[in-house]
């Protein structure tokens, strides 16, 4: 009895101590939670780069320009006889453009070129992503929601006659669909417009075009139409200016990135649902995302966009280089190149399919990963959108319960026995389970039509992509997760790479071969975060080649047949004659893709001579720095570099 009473007292003492410990922990949690600070990318940047006033010391190996491409200069002015358009044209051409930011930008360039070819007056095209949206800001129309109309008309006054709308006496006929409407493909030839559309234009005086494939004219035109190619460049790189509010906020974002006194890299994942479905990359994802990609792929097959089967080996497509690089892979490539963990990386793209879950490994390697929400306040973004009419709350409603007769009829139609057990009783569906644009897949096999909120979000994405486009073009380095090398429509990275190539060909733009990258990752699959020196050297060699002429030529062979704006050479550039010339490179059709640029005018060469001399001085200083660094680090500088990377705390396999 005494023994039992002792056990009771011990148990009571243990229970009292446990209760006291729990009360103490709860009180500590209550008071400590008041001091929790939410993570902010701006605060992280200020912690990493406190000395903003100190001079910027750039590592030329990571941020320097590409010397072999410095002779290329932007020059899209007419070279031959180019008369100003006459006011007496053959008629009016109006158009409706469907698609996202990339398709809109490419389609407008083709529309202007077609109008010049047909000697027609172009009506400012309608951007359906904005017109379909319900009650967007009353301050903007369709085209002006994204671009500056006045700048567009004034810049092209010597190329094409452009009006904001049809004359009043023709508007009623258009509303009643009295004018011929055409839906050209993005590979339509100039002969199609001369033989098919021009007679209808002269007869009806008005012709409509519906553009859905990101363009309405083939990418590569005959050599005799080089002036039309240069017109495309003038439209894309000079006339198409974003409206003033977008440009102002975009410049502010660039200034905020520059204010930290460090160069920054822009990265576009390219993880778009349509791209993943087109190339059959569904198996690279999990759960509901795989089903969503397969559903979209089935739609493309029914629409005739894809002639392949529905179920394909996604891993085989990845090895062929058809699928985008995953953010984790991009992070490993950048670390192999030598970019430190504090590098500022701007994440471009209005949406990343797969969500933030896919970005976790990249954020673990590069803490200073920022996007528009990190650099802009909610007020700045809402001001860019403008005043909008509030949409009704999207309240989910349960489906109508089935009656007893309907349940019996469904049971009788269930087929021969043995029949499956009846479903369990329905439970309540909570609102948080319906949040997200993919909630429909949990209750039906058919994707519903976009809701008013979805349509408005599609219009907003045009603005977010415009901001990201400005920053990606101005970035010190650009790395694409996916770029146009075989798909049937333009993509964001391809347009950015084309404009960077036009404005400053020597800018640091990576053009990785995803097929080679897939082979490299298969080699080090089991040691991705602690690779061998040889693997690191192979990555550095491949990415450095992608920056130079070799990578530019390889990319041009793939991208230019589908998108001229991704490789506007040699038509829209000139070459400084004082610098070393390059051998010409021809495509499969015998046309020169690189090396046939005209000599720059004398006024451009004299202005560039000073810059070349300064670059030579900087290059000499950089060479001296490299020699001194090699002397300090020993004879094998590359091995020392990779050894440093391998011993970084981010690469520790036991971390």
* 320 sits in which H/E element: none
**Residue 434 placed within a domain:** no
**215 within 8 A of 114, measured Cβ to Cβ:** no
Specify whether 370 is located in the same domain as 233. no
Q: What is the mean pLDDT of residues 473-494?
A: 87
Q: How far apart are CA 476 and CA 394, in angstroms?
A: 42
Question: Which of 129, 77, 99 minimizes the C-alpha distance to 216?
Answer: 99
In this predicted structure, the answer to whether residue 549 has a pLDDT above a threshold of 80 is: yes
pLDDT tens digit sequence for 361-404: 999 999 999 999 999 999 999 999 888 878 776 555 666 788 88
Instruction: Dig out the tokens for 361 from the structure.
Output: 């490994």
Structural domain including 488 reads: 246-271+324-383+454-568
Give the pLDDT confidence score for residue 83 in this predicted structure: 87
Specify whether 494 is located in the same domain as 478. yes
Which of 568, 585, 616 lies at the terminal end of a domain, its last residue? 568
Confidence label for 153 from pLDDT (cuts 50, 70 and 90): very high
Give the pLDDT confidence score for residue 655 in this predicted structure: 36
Specify whether 99 is located in the same domain as 187. yes
Q: How far apart are CA 367 and CA 46, in angstroms?
A: 12
**242 within 8 A of 451, measured Cβ to Cβ:** no
**Residue 229 placed within a domain:** yes
- Residues 6 or more apart whose CB falls under 8 angstroms from that of 557 comprise 587, 588, 593
Q: How far apart are CA 267 and CA 250, in angstroms?
A: 16
Which of 568, 596, 619 lies at the terminal end of a domain, its last residue? 568
Give the DSSP letter string of 117-128: HHT-EEEPPEEH
Confidence label for 534 from pLDDT (cuts 50, 70 and 90): very high
**Residue 293 placed within a domain:** no
Specify whether 161 is located in the same domain as 194. yes
Instruction: Dig out the tokens for 333 from the structure.
Output: 């490539």
Specify whether 257 is located in the same domain as 224. no
**511 within 8 A of 566, measured Cβ to Cβ:** no
Specify whether 193 is located in the same domain as 255. no
Which of helix, strand or coil describes residue 586? strand
Which of 531, 550, 568 lies at the terminal end of a domain, its last residue? 568
Cis bond upstream, residue 538 (ω within 30): no
Specify whether 188 is located in the same domain as 253. no
Confidence label for 644 from pLDDT (cuts 50, 70 and 90): very low
**Residue 431 placed within a domain:** no
Give the pLDDT confidence score for residue 486 in this predicted structure: 57
Q: How far apart are CA 245 and CA 235, in angstroms?
A: 20
Q: How far apart are the first and last CA of the chain?
A: 55
pLDDT tens digit sequence for 289-319: 888 888 889 888 988 888 888 888 899 999 9
**Residue 647 placed within a domain:** no
Confidence label for 135 from pLDDT (cuts 50, 70 and 90): low
Confidence label for 202 from pLDDT (cuts 50, 70 and 90): very high
Q: How far apart are CA 544 and CA 194, in angstroms?
A: 45
* CA–centroid distance for 57 within its chain: 29
Specify whether 186 is located in the same domain as 255. no
Specify whether 462 is located in the same domain as 500. yes
Question: Which of 344, 369, 366, 381 minimizes the C-alpha distance to 259?
Answer: 344
**491 within 8 A of 612, measured Cβ to Cβ:** no
Specify whether 200 is located in the same domain as 252. no
Specify whether 512 is located in the same domain as 472. yes
Confidence label for 599 from pLDDT (cuts 50, 70 and 90): confident
Specify whether 331 is located in the same domain as 198. no
Total of domains in the chain = 2
**Residue 427 placed within a domain:** no
Sort strands 585-586 and 592-594 into parallel, antiparallel or unpaired: antiparallel
Give the DSSP letter string of 322-356: -SPPPHHHHHHHHHHHT--TT-EEEE--S--TTGG
Give the pLDDT confidence score for residue 204 in this predicted structure: 93
* 299 sits in which H/E element: helix 288-303
**Residue 336 placed within a domain:** yes
Identify the residue whose tokens are 């070279």. 79
**249 within 8 A of 376, measured Cβ to Cβ:** yes
* 166 sits in which H/E element: none
**Residue 440 placed within a domain:** no
């Amino acid at each position: 009895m005494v023994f039992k009473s002792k056990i009771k007292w011990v148990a009571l003492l243990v229970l009292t101590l446990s209760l006291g410990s729990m009360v103490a922990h709860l009180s500590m949690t209550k008071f400590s939670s008041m001091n929790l600070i939410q993570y902010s990318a701006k605060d992280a940047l200020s912690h990493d780069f406190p000395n903003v006033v100190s001079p910027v010391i750039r590592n030329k190996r990571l941020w320097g320009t590409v010397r072999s491409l410095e002779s290329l200069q932007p020059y899209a002015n007419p070279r031959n006889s180019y008369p100003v358009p006459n006011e007496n044209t053959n008629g009016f051409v109006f158009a409706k453009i469907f698609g996202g930011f990339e398709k809109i930008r490419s389609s407008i360039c083709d529309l202007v070129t077609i109008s010049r070819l047909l000697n027609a007056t172009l009506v400012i095209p309608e951007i359906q992503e904005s017109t379909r949206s319900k009650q967007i800001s009353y301050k903007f129309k369709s085209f002006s929601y994204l671009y500056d109309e006045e700048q567009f008309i004034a810049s092209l006054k010597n190329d094409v006659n452009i009006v904001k709308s049809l004359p009043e006496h023709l508007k009623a006929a258009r509303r009643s669909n009295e004018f011929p409407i055409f839906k050209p493909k993005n590979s339509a030839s100039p002969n199609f417009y001369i033989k098919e559309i021009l007679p209808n234009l002269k007869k009806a005086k008005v012709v409509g075009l519906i553009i859905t494939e990101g363009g309405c004219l083939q990418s590569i035109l005959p050599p005799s139409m080089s002036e039309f190619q240069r017109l495309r460049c003038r439209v894309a790189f000079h006339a198409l200016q974003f409206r003033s509010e977008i440009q102002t906020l975009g410049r502010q974002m660039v200034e905020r990135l520059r204010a930290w006194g460090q160069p920054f890299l822009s990265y576009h994942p390219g993880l778009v649902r349509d791209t993943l479905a087109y190339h059959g990359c569904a198996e690279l994802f999990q759960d509901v995302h795989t089903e969503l990609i397969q559903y979209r792929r089935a739609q493309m097959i029914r629409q005739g966009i894809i002639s392949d089967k529905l179920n394909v080996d996604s891993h085989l497509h990845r090895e062929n280089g058809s699928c985008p690089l995953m953010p984790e892979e991009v992070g490993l490539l950048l670390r192999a190149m030598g970019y430190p963990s504090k590098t500022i990386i701007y994440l471009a793209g209005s949406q990343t399919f797969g969500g933030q879950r896919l970005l976790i490994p990249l954020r673990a390697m590069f803490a200073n990963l920022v996007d528009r929400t990190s650099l802009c306040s909610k007020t700045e973004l809402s001001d860019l959108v403008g005043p909008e009419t509030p949409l009704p709350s999207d309240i989910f409603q349960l489906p109508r319960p089935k009656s007893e007769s309907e349940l019996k009829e469904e049971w009788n139609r269930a087929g021969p026995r043995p029949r499956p057990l009846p479903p369990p009783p329905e439970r309540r569906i909570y609102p948080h389970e319906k949040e997200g644009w993919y909630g429909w897949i949990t209750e039906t096999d058919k994707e519903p039509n976009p809701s008013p909120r979805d349509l408005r979000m599609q219009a907003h994405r045009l603005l977010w992509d415009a901001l990201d486009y400005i920053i990606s073009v101005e970035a010190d380095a650009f790395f694409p997760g996916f770029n146009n090398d075989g798909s049937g429509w333009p993509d964001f990275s391809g347009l950015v790479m084309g404009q960077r190539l036009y404005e400053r060909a020597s800018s640091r733009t990576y053009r990785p071969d995803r097929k080679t990258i897939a082979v490299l990752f298969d080699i080090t699959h089991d040691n991705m975060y602690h690779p061998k020196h040889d693997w690191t050297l192979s990555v550095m060699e491949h990415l450095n080649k992608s920056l130079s002429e070799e990578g530019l030529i390889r990319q041009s062979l793939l991208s230019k047949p589908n998108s001229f704006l991704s490789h506007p050479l040699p038509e829209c550039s000139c070459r400084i004659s004082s610098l070393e010339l390059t051998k010409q490179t021809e495509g499969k059709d015998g046309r020169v893709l690189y090396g046939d640029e005209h000599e720059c005018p004398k006024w451009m060469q004299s202005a560039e001579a000073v810059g070349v001399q300064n670059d030579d001085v900087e290059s000499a200083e950089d060479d001296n720095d490299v020699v001194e660094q090699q002397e300090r680090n020993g004879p094998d500088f590359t091995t020392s570099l990779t050894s440093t990377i391998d011993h970084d705390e981010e690469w520790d396999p036991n971390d």
